[in-house]
Structure 1
C-alpha cells in the first residue's frame, strides 16, 4: 500500500458499473494518518474503511505486512499502540454508545483480552501507556463518579489516583513514567481547562491554571512530554494572547518558555523524536501548514505542503514528516516529506470535487468567513445548501468532504459558515456564543444567507438548512426562529429538546452545557428554553427530515422523539429515520443510505 493514488474520473462521470461519483466518494477506500510505536517505529496503526466499515489495521513497515486488527458490525476507530509496539489497545463499546472498556491484542495478531481487568465500563477520558508495556493511565467518566483516573499495572488491581465531579482527562505520561499530566475543569468551566501534574501515586507535583484570577476565560491543553528519559519539559497549548499557541513548561523547575511563534491564527505543536525541535501546525482562515521550530536557535522553517488542510502530522525518527492532507477539490492522502504517498489503499479511486471559494460577510459580531462550492460553470441563482458544522468548537476548512461534494453533484451550491463559536479565528470568536447558545450562531448564518441571496448566488425559494450534531441542533433551532428563511430542513443526530438532552447525555457534555448556558436547566431555565428547538417547534414551516442513532450518548434519542411528537401533533410535514448506531455511523453502506434519503427528501420538497 505505498505509492501515489491512481488517476480518477472527472466529477459527473460514472464508472462501468453505473455508480455515481457521489457514491464512489463514500465507497473509495481511505486511510487515516498512521500512528507509530515510539520504541518500534516500523510498527504502525491506522484506520481504514477498506472492508466497508471503518476498522483498525496493523502495519509492519519493515515487512510491508498489513492486517485488519478489529472487526465489529458498527466499526472501530479508537485505538493506540503501546510504545514498545507489542500491543494494540482499542476501545470496545456497544453499537456506538461510547460506553465500554479498553481491550488489547498482540500487534502480530491473537485473541483480544480486557486491557485493564477490574475497571467497570465507562466513557473514555484519555489513555496513556508506559514504555514498560505493563503500566497504563486510564481516564474514565460516568454519571455516578464524574471523572476518575486510574493507574493500572499488569497483574495488579488498578489504583485510583484522581477523582472529581467535573470533567477531566489524561493528557500524557512522561517518557520515564514518573509524571502524569491531566487536564481538569474543577473550576467549572468545561471550555477552558487547567493542568495538573501528578506522580504515579496521585500526589501533586505542579499546577498551571490560567483561569484562577477570574478576569479572563483562558484555557490550557496538554500537547505532550518531551520524548527524553528524565526530561520534565511538558509542551502545552495556551490562549494568553487571544489564540492557541505552544509553550514549554518545565514541571521540575516551574520555568515557562514562551515560544512566541509569529504566525497569525492558531498554532499547535508536537515534539520531534529527539526533543530538540517541534513540529508546528499552523491553522489560519480555514487552511493549514507545517513548520519545524528549532528550540535552540528558535529558527522557524516552513515544511512544504500543498495548499489546503493538513488534518494530522507526525515527525518520524528519520527526520521526515508524514501528514494527512486534502483540499475541497482533492481527496485525502497520507504524504511524506520524502516524497510520494505513504499509504495508497487499493481499489476504487476517489473522484475529486470542485474547489472552495472564500467569502467574508459583515455580521452582527464581526466578519464571518464562509466557504462556498458550486457546480463548475454554474451561475446563480442556484438551489443552495447551508451545511452547518458540529462542535460547536470546530470549523469548516478547505478539506475534502464527501457530503458537500454529493450536493454539488446534484446541482446545488453548498455554503459552510464558520459562525461565532467556531475555532480558528481567535479565542473571542470561539467564546462568543456563551449564554445565548444557538441564537448567536444563527445570527451569523442569517447574515451569510442574506448575502447569498443578495449576491445572486442562492435562490431564496430553494434554500436547505442542514447539519450534523451541533449543526443538526442549529438546523432545528433555525427552522423555528427563522421560519421564513428556509425551504427544507435536514437535521442529522441533532439536539432537539435541550432540557431532556441535558438529562440524558453523557456527563462530559453536561459539563459543557453548564459552561455554555451558565448552569443546569433548573438553575437557568430561561436560557435552556430560549436555546431549545422544542420551544419553537410550532413555528416551523419547512418540511423537516431527521436522522438519529438509537444508541447516541451525545444527542440521545428520547429528546428527538419529544420533538417529533410535537411535529406529529400539529400535522407538520416531516420524516424520521432511526438507525442502530450511535452519534453517526462507521458503516459505509449505512452512510450512503442516509445521504440518499436526505437528497431524495430535498428533491421531493424543493421541486427538483
Structure 2
C-alpha cells in the first residue's frame, strides 16, 4: 500500500505525496529498478600525489555515499567516514598519510575540514584548522608541508594557509567569489581562481608564493572568457600549469609557466571541448574530449604536437588519470551499461576491467539515440530513450501510438545530459515512459556562446529550446502531447516550475526537485557563491535589476499553472532554500492548483540510497496517477 512520507514535512500544511511500496507488480521488474540504485558504485580512485599506491574514492557500498581508503598494494579497502547523509568531498595528503574530508551539517554544505590517518575507520577524525571559522568550501590543496584551504560565507571568500603545521594565516580575502585551484609539486606556489573583475562565471588566475604571498604571475581572459587551473606539472621544479581556456569559443588547453608568465596554447584538432592531465614525465597529456554527449580519450605529445587515439568504448568517461607506469585508469559508462572502472595498459590494443565492485554491477538499461532539432538559437541536441520493445512489430500498443513522455531537464545550468548510465532514466523507461533529455542553451559541451546564451532571458531561453524539441517530437509521433511530464532537479527543477507557468498547455504534470521557485526570496537565503553567480547571470542583484529576477521567477507565473505539481525539497538546502519553496507552495494552494510535496532532512539532494529510491518511486507514482496510467 502507498504510504505518505513522515518526517520533515509532517509539520507543514501542504499535502504530502504518496510513496508506493512498489512500482511494479512483476517481482523481477521491481527488483531490477531498485538494484540499479542499490548496486555498489565506485568513483575513480584519487591517488596521493607522492604515494600513488594509496588512494581514496567514493562508494555507496554501505547504503550511503561515503569515502573509502584503498591500499592498492595490498588490495585493502577501508570505509573511512560514516555520517547520516553521507560524505563525498575528500582528498589525501601528498604523502598519503592522511585523509582530509569536508564535514557539514545534514547536507547544508557549511562546515570545516576534518582529517584522519589513512586506512582508519569512522570516528578517528579531528579538525584540520580548529581556529578557522567554518564556511562553504572554496577548495583545498594539501602538500607534505603546506595546507591551503578556501572558505566562503556572507562576507565573501577567505583563503587560509598553514605551513609545516603552524597556525593558519589568512593569505587572501575578497568580497567576490574565489577558490584554491592547485599547488605546485615543490609546494612553493599556489594558484588562486578569482572574480575580482565582478563576474564569477569567468574566473581569472593568480599565482602566489607560498612563503610570502607575493604575486608571481597573473592570467586574465575577461571579459566574457574564463580560465581554470587544472594542475601543475608533476615534475618538481617544472612550474608549468595546465590551464583550461575558451579563447576560441570552446574549452581548450594552454600551458602557463608561472615562473615567467609565458603561455602556450595547445592546438589540439578535435571538434568538441577538451580537458586533460599530465603524464608522469610531463612530456605528454592525457586528453579527454567531449562532443554531443560522448567522450573519447587521446594522448597528446607536447614536443611533436601529435595526437594518438586511445581505445575506449563509445559512451562517457567521467574521470581519467595516468598512473606512474603510464597506464590510464578511468571510469566509463553508457546509457546501457553501468559505471565501470577500466584500465588501459601502455601499448595495449584494448582496455580491461580495473576493479569490480562487491556484489556485482547494476542491471543494464536502454540505449539513447541522438536528435538534432532546429531551434531559435541554432541546432538543439537531445538524447531520446525508449522503453524496451518500443516499436517492435509484435508490440502493437507501442507501435501504433505515441507513448507518455517525461522531459527530464538537467541541472547546472552549466552541465549537460550525456550517453551515460542513469538509474533514474532507467526507472522511467521501465515504467513505460519515453525519456527526453534536452541540452538546451546553457548546456556545456556545445561551445561558449551556447552556454552563455541563457543570460539573454534566464529560464525563458532554455524553455524555448525545450518547446522546439517538444513540437518536433509531437509532429513526428514520438510523444503523446496529452501525456507529457516536465521534470528536473536543481536548475532543471527551476525550469520545470517556470515551464509549467509560461507553457501551461504543453505539460500534463510537473515534477520539480530542489528548485528555485521564488527567485527574489531564493537570492536572500542562498549561499553567497550562488548569489555571486546570480549577480553575474542577471547583470546585478535583485535591488539593481529587480525586473529581470521577477521575469525569471516561477512565482511570477504561478497563477497560470494548471497541471498538477510535485515539489521535492531538502530542509537544509543552501542552494535552493526551503523558505522560497514554501512561498511557492502557499501560492499553489491559494490558486487551487493540484499539488503535493516531498520533503527530506538533507541538503541539495541526498546521498542515502534508500532515500533516493523513495524519491524516484514518489515521482513515477505521481506521474502515473496524474496521467491515469496503469500501476497508479
User: TM range, normalised to the smaller chain?
Assistant: over 0.9
Match of 1:227 among 221, 234, 237: 234
How many Å apart are 1:275 and its aligned residue?
1.3
Structure 2 vs 1, CA of residues 336 and 15 (structure 1 numbering), >3 Å: closer, same or farther?
A: farther
In structure 1, the partner of 2:348 is none
Q: Return the alpha-carbon distance in structure 1 between the equivalents of residues 437 and 213 of structure 2.
A: 45
TM score, norm. by length of structure 2: 0.92
How many Å apart are 1:590 and its aligned residue?
0.3
Q: Which residues in structure 2 correspond to 1:141-540 (within 5 Å)? A: 141-144=152-155, 146-200=156-210, 201-211=212-222, 214=223, 217-338=224-345, 339-347=351-359, 349-378=361-390, 379=399, 380-540=401-561
Matched positions, count:
589
Counterpart secondary structure, 2:52: strand
Q: Return the alpha-carbon distance in structure 1 between the equivalents of residues 467 and 232 of structure 2.
A: 44
Q: Return the alpha-carbon distance in structure 2 between the equivalents of residues 278 and 100 of structure 1.
A: 35
Q: Is the 8 A contact 1:389 1:395 kept in 2?
A: yes
How many Å apart are 1:333 and its aligned residue?
0.5
How many Å apart are 1:14 and its aligned residue?
6.8
Q: Is the 8 A contact 2:338 2:361 kept in 1?
A: no
Residue segments in structure 1 that go unaligned for 5+ positions in a row: 1-11
In structure 1, the partner of 2:19 is none
Q: Return the alpha-carbon distance in structure 2 between the equivalents of residues 281 and 328 of structure 1.
A: 19
Q: Which string of whole-angstrom CA distances, capped at 9 and with x for unpartnered residues, describes residues 367-398 of structure 1?
A: 00000000133144110000000000000000
Counterpart secondary structure, 2:363: coil
How many Å apart are 1:570 and its aligned residue?
1.8
Q: Is the 8 A contact 1:548 1:578 kept in 2?
A: yes
In structure 2, the partner of 1:594 is 615
Q: Is the 8 A contact 2:147 2:163 kept in 1?
A: yes
Q: Which moved more, 1:530-539 or 1:271-280?
A: 271-280
Q: Is the 8 A contact 2:504 2:561 kept in 1?
A: yes
Q: RMSD between aligned alpha carbons?
A: 1.3
How many Å apart are 1:348 and its aligned residue?
5.1
Counterpart secondary structure, 2:454: coil
Residue segments in structure 2 that go unaligned for 5+ positions in a row: 1-23, 346-350, 391-398
How many Å apart are 1:154 and its aligned residue?
4.9
In structure 2, the partner of 1:84 is 95
Q: Return the alpha-carbon distance in structure 1 between the equivalents of residues 331 and 136 of structure 2.
A: 28
Match of 2:576 among 546, 555, 579: 555
Counterpart secondary structure, 1:196: strand
Q: Return the alpha-carbon distance in structure 2 between the equivalents of residues 187 and 38 of structure 1.
A: 33
Pair 1:126 & 2:136 matched: no
Q: Return the alpha-carbon distance in structure 2 between the equivalents of residues 601 and 518 of structure 1.
A: 38
Counterpart secondary structure, 1:41: coil
Q: Return the alpha-carbon distance in structure 2 between the equivalents of residues 458 and 121 of structure 1.
A: 49
Q: Return the alpha-carbon distance in structure 1 between the equivalents of residues 576 and 140 of structure 2.
A: 24
Counterpart secondary structure, 2:70: strand
Q: Is the 8 A contact 1:435 1:527 kept in 2?
A: no
Pair 1:546 & 2:553 matched: no
TM score, norm. by length of structure 1: 0.95
How many Å apart are 1:258 and its aligned residue?
1.4
Q: Which string of whole-angstrom CA distances, capped at 9 and with x for unpartnered residues, describes residues 410-430 of structure 1?
A: 110000000000000011000
Counterpart secondary structure, 1:172: strand
Pair 1:50 & 2:65 matched: no
Q: Is the 8 A contact 1:13 1:21 kept in 2?
A: no
Q: Return the alpha-carbon distance in structure 2 between the equivalents of residues 337 and 532 of structure 1.
A: 48
Q: Is the 8 A contact 1:435 1:518 kept in 2?
A: no
In structure 2, the partner of 1:6 is none
Q: Return the alpha-carbon distance in structure 1 between the equivalents of residues 426 and 418 of structure 2.
A: 14
In structure 1, the partner of 2:83 is 72
Pair 1:605 & 2:612 matched: no
Q: Which string of whole-angstrom CA distances, capped at 9 and with x for unpartnered residues, describes residues 306-333 of structure 1?
A: 0000011001101100111000011010
How many Å apart are 1:15 and its aligned residue?
6.8
Counterpart secondary structure, 1:433: helix
How many Å apart are 1:153 and its aligned residue?
3.1
Q: Return the alpha-carbon distance in structure 1 between the equivalents of residues 274 and 209 of structure 2.
A: 29
How many Å apart are 1:24 and its aligned residue?
1.1
